[in-house]
Amino acid sequence: MDANTVLHELTADVKDRINYLVYKDIHRKEKITVRDLEIAYEYARINVTMVEESQTPMLELFLLDRQRDRMLDMQIMELRNQLYPECSRPLSRAEVYRAVMHGAPTRK
């Protein structure tokens, strides 16, 4: 399956989470792009890593209403890893960082 097909068939929850991570707007209606997925992947990876390193108990995640976000972040990470195995090269970390920090255009 190609990336455009997979991105078109995302669930509404995953689309909303990507839009929140990238644009801080869950009501955004434009299509999710590969660039959006890459940026959301970086944020999701950081979020999941922070929860794992802090050793936050699952009960606390439920009480803080963060379990759903964590599950969606993990789905985003899994989706990106399925679309782009280690041998492929989507965006580099520098390109993602530049896009996140400066809104600079990435490669086309």
Q: Write out pLDDT tens, residues 39-52.
A: 999 999 988 888 88
Which has more confidence, 50 or 73?
73
What does the alpha-carbon distance between residue 61 and residue 70 come to, in Å, rounded to a whole number? 9
Average pLDDT estimate for 1-5: 78
pLDDT of 11 reads: 93
Q: Which residue range forms the structural domain that includes residue 24?
A: 3-102
So what's the pLDDT on residue 62?
A: 76
Domain count, the chain: 1
Q: Give the model's confidence band at 5: pLDDT under 50 very low, under 70 low, under 90 confident, else very high.
A: confident
For residues 103 and 61, the model is more confident at 61
% helix / strand / coil in the chain, to the nearest 5? 65, 0, 35
Neighbours of 74 (CB within 10 A): 15
Whether residue 15 lies inside any domain: the answer is yes
Report if residue 92 sits inside a domain. Answer: yes
Tokens of 61: 């995640």
Asked if the structure places residue 94 within a domain, the reply is: yes
| Domain-embedded: residue 107 | no
Q: With respect to residue 10, please indicate whether it lies within any of the assigned structural domains.
A: yes
